[in-house]
Amino acid sequence: MTSSHGTDTSAQAPESAGIHRVSVLLYSDDVTTRDAVRAAAGRRPARDVEIVRWHECATAEAVVEAMDAGGYDVVILDGEASPLGGLGLCRQLKNEIFECPPILVLTGRPQDGWLAGWSLADESVSHPLDPIVVSEAVAALARTRVAVG
């Protein structure tokens, strides 16, 4: 499904034992970054984690609207997005949403890890994106979300 706020690609699959099927919200104003994140995470970031739905947002307003609707297990926010970066948006979501899903922020460089801490992000990954690091972070956050409920 495509809307003015983002792209939603769904593939619902029945739940099977031991596999965490998750829905991921991905925010970046740059389509190249969104493509790189999806490619890095893959459909199966770990043996026990399968991404069954990606919802892409190109604006912060679309992210807030999607989060209000709910249904996401993991959120990935681009800290380099413009005009509102994912770090500030992460802090806003963590402060405003009760039981906010775990959030992975993408930072411009490894030295920006302290900004991820300030933003209240659960995990951070710096550019350039390493597929192993991205997939491990997504899988860890998916397991956390499933364990919490």
* 12 in any annotated domain: no
* 40 in any annotated domain: yes
Distance between CA atoms of residues 106 and 34, nearest Å: 11
pLDDT at 4: 37
Q: For residue 4, what are its two tokens?
A: 């003015």
pLDDT at 126: 96
Q: Maximum distance among all alpha carbons in the chain?
A: 42
pLDDT at 147: 58
Q: How many domains does the chain contain in total? A: 1
CATH number at residue 61: 3.40.50.2300
- Residue 85 belongs to domain spanning: 20-131
pLDDT at 6: 47
* 117 in any annotated domain: yes
pLDDT tens digits, one per residue of 3-36: 334 444 444 444 456 899 999 999 999 999 999 9
* 146 in any annotated domain: no
Q: Which residue has the higher pLDDT, 113 or 78?
A: 78
| 123: CB partners within 8 A, 6+ apart | 102, 103, 104, 105, 116, 137, 140, 141
This prediction's pTM: 0.88
Distance between CA atoms of residues 105 and 112, nearest Å: 11
pLDDT at 146: 60
* 15 in any annotated domain: no
* 149 in any annotated domain: no
* 5 in any annotated domain: no
pLDDT at 116: 95
pLDDT tens digits, one per residue of 86-144: 999 999 999 999 999 999 999 999 999 999 999 999 999 999 999 999 999 999 999 99
- Range list of β-strands (E), the chain: 2-3, 6-10, 20-27, 49-57, 74-78, 103-107, 123-126
